[in-house]
């Protein structure tokens, strides 16, 4: 009953009743009508004052907006935001999606309501690939997640630990240069080579294994394709996520494909774990290079798993999930960032000349790059920041899931919805950035913009409790690799080719057309990298 109807009914009753009519039954009726009218009015007023759902495009019955989704979700959501504003909704079957596309609303999600949004909306593909979602990326916010985050941040990916394994990075980057010297004058797949370099660094850190010799190119391409397929499946809208009753049918085959990939990675992890356990059993201790105790992460994780007094024990499943995080998260995002940065630099010769001039001044023309040179290369650092602005590794971040209904940008965001933060669109917003589509590293030379998550105009690695735990590793790997590639070689496109910077969406964004480039040695002394 609406307030107007109830008040009208009350007025009619008042005018029609005489004093003699106020018997007990009539009083009860009158009181009931009055009470219903007050209840209806309060409900109407409360509903009027409560926030509404965000605006968004109209959908179809049952399926909502699913039929209209563009595969390039980051650009599709950015286009919708121009019409519906910085907070908009899309109906994904039975799941409500909310897209946030401004620094102010991103701050509300990632800082003001950080705890509420600290959980993930875990897709079936994520649970399948990452051991039921028991890793850092998908694990629910709570004691177990805090334990995993603390161990990775303090023990595995801290500045101290990364300093201790610098020789691994140095060795693998030099091997890449040696390989490129052999290919000098011929086109090489830059992304593929950098993926393999990062892969070798990470596997060396995890369990001491690297890919060498003739196996390098074959396994690099094969493994890169496997990781690429995995991240592509993670980013693909899945009907099973939006209609739980249909999940058992796996209509798109995403779960089946992911199981195949996950089985392959699990086989690698199981092999490494069994080898390490066998080595510990046979020798009692491990050695590296004739006596130095091995300090790889797998040994650390196995020792941690066996600690009986641990407050929150690490299971074998959790151990494998952490290995998957390191292997998948570390390789694809870093190598893609290097590939995009190289493509942008090659497209703008003035930037290439400026980077190489800085390198020659700081490193020297007949010398090799060391990580100790990096702090003295502000323009190179600006190049990386600008590349991350235009091509953030995870363009929509990992979707968040509110644990309670809350308000963002004046709109209601219901509990359990899937919240996308379009950092890609924020980084290209013309109201924030001058000439936003222009690759201009100078914009980062004389400002405090950084990727620590405090500036919501620029946060390529996310922000808040769930921001990327591997920032320090990524920063070192990307800067050191870029510095070495640009100091050691001049680069050009193959004859007749034009630079194509088209992006391909995935949970990790990559270059749609791989960068094929020709390295031309700058130094006349190849012995530097022997």
276 to 25, 272, 489: CA distances (angstroms): 87, 6, 39
Query: Quick check: 424 and 74 in contact, CB under 8 A?
Result: yes
Distance in Å from the first CA to the final CA of the chain? 85
Alpha-carbon distance of 394 to 243, in angstroms, equals 25
Tell me, what's the pLDDT at 314? 86
**Residue 99: is its pLDDT beyond 90?**
yes
Looking only at the bridges linking them, the beta strands covering 516-521 and 188-189 are antiparallel
Tokens standing for residue 262? 């996950």
CA pair distance 316, 273, nearest whole angstrom? 10
State yes or no: pLDDT of 26 exceeds 60: no
Binning pLDDT at 50, 70 and 90, where does residue 227 land?
A: confident
The model's pLDDT over 467-484, given as tens digits with 9 standing for 90+, comes to: 999 999 999 999 999 999
Examine the pLDDT at 69 and tell me if it is beyond 80: yes
Average pLDDT value over all residues in the chain:
87
Cα torsion 58, 61, 66, 68: sign: negative
- Measured CA to CA, the distance from residue 83 to residue 56 in angstroms comes to 9
CA distances (Å), origin 430, targets 420, 423, 438? 21, 14, 11
pLDDT at position 441, please?
Answer: 97
List Cα–Cα distances, 49 to 43, 53, 108, 409, 475, in angstroms.
10, 13, 20, 15, 47
Q: Which of 140-149, 310-319, 394-403, 479-488 has the lowest mean pLDDT?
A: 310-319
Asked if residue 14 has pLDDT above 50, the reply is: no
Q: Indicate the pLDDT class of residue 529, thresholds 50, 70 and 90.
A: low
Region 500-529 average pLDDT: 88
pLDDT at 44: 56
Tell me what the mean pLDDT of segment 350-362 comes to.
97
pLDDT bracket for residue 191 (50, 70, 90): very high
Domain 73-267+317-491+500-529: what homologous superfamily? Cytochrome P450 (1.10.630.10)
Residue 372: pLDDT over 50? yes
pLDDT number for residue 283: 62
In this prediction, residues 191-213 reach a mean pLDDT of 82
State the pairing for strand pair 503-504/510-511: antiparallel
The Cα 278–Cα 282 span in angstroms is: 6
pLDDT of residue 306: 77
Among 508, 397, 432, 467, CA closest to 100: 397
DSSP string, 369-427: --GGGGGG-HHHHHHHHHHHHHS-SSTT-SPEE-SS-EEETTEEE-TT-EEEE-HHHHH
Given a cut of 80, whether residue 133 has pLDDT beyond it is yes
Q: Which residues pair with 503 in a beta bridge?
A: 511
Please give the Cα distance from 233 to 505 (Å, whole number): 11
Q: What is the pLDDT of residue 298?
A: 87
Which of 195-204, 242-251, 307-316, 468-477 bottoms out in mean pLDDT, i.e. has the lowest? 307-316
Between 27 and 115, the more confident residue is 115
Residue 459 has pLDDT above 90, yes or no: yes
Domain boundaries, the chain: 3-49, 73-267+317-491+500-529
pLDDT for res 225 = 81
Supply the pLDDT for residue 13. 43
Contacts (Cβ under 8 Å, ≥6 apart) of 435: none
């Amino acid at each position: 009953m609406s307030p107007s109807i109830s008040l009208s009914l009350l007025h009619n009753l008042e005018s029609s009743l005489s004093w003699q009519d106020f018997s007990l039954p009539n009083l009860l009726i009158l009181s009931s009508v009055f009470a219903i009218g007050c209840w209806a009015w309060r409900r109407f007023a409360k509903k009027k004052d409560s926030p509404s759902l965000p605006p968004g495009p109209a959908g179809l019955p049952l399926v909502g907006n699913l039929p209209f989704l563009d595969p390039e979700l980051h650009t599709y959501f950015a286009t919708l935001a121009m019409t519906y504003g910085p907070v908009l909704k899309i109906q994904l079957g039975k799941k409500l999606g909310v897209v946030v596309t401004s620094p102010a609303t991103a701050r509300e999600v990632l800082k003001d309501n950080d705890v509420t949004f600290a959980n993930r909306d875990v897709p079936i593909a994520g649970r399948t690939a990452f051991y039921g979602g028991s890793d850092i990326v998908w694990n629910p916010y709570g004691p177990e997640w805090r334990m995993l985050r603390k161990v990775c941040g303090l023990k595995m990916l801290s500045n101290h630990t990364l300093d201790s394994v610098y020789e691994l990075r140095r060795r693998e980057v030099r091997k890449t240069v040696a390989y490129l010297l052999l290919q000098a004058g011929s086109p090489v797949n830059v992304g593929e080579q950098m993926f393999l370099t990062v892969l070798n660094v990470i596997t060396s850190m995890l369990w001491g294994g690297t890919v060498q010799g003739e196996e390098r190119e074959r396994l690099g391409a094969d493994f890169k394709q496997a990781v690429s397929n995995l991240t592509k499946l993670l980013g693909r809208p899945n009907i099973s996520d939006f209609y739980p009753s249909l999940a058992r049918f796996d209509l798109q085959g995403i779960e089946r494909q992911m199981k195949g990939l996950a089985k392959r990675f699990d086989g690698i992890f199981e092999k490494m774990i069994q080898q390490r356990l066998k080595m510990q059993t046979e020798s009692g201790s491990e050695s590296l290079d004739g006596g130095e105790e091995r300090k790889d992460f797998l040994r650390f994780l196995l020792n941690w798993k066996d600690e009986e007094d641990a407050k929150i024990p690490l299971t074998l499943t959790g151990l494998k999930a952490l290995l998957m995080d390191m292997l998948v998260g570390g390789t694809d995002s870093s190598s893609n960032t290097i590939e995009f940065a190289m493509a942008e630099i090659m497209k703008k010769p003035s930037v290439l000349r400026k980077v190489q001039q800085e390198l020659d001044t700081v490193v020297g023309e007949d010398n090799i790059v060391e990580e100790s040179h990096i702090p003295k290369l502000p323009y190179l650092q600006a190049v990386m920041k600008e590349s991350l602005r235009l091509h953030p590794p995870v363009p929509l971040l990992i979707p968040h899931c509110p644990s309670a209904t809350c308000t963002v940008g004046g709109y209601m965001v219901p509990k359990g919805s899937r919240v996308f933060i379009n950092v890609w669109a924020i980084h290209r917003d013309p109201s924030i950035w001058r000439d936003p589509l222009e690759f201009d590293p100078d914009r980062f030379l004389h400002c405090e913009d950084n990727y620590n998550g405090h500036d919501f105009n620029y946060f390529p690695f996310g922000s808040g409790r769930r921001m990327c735990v591997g920032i320090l590793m990524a920063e070192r790997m990307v800067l050191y690799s870029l510095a070495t590639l640009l100091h050691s070689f001049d680069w050009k496109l193959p004859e007749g080719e034009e630079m194509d910077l088209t992006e391909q969406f995935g949970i990790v964004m990559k270059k749609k057309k791989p960068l094929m480039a020709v390295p031309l040695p700058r130094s006349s002394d190849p012995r530097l990298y022997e």
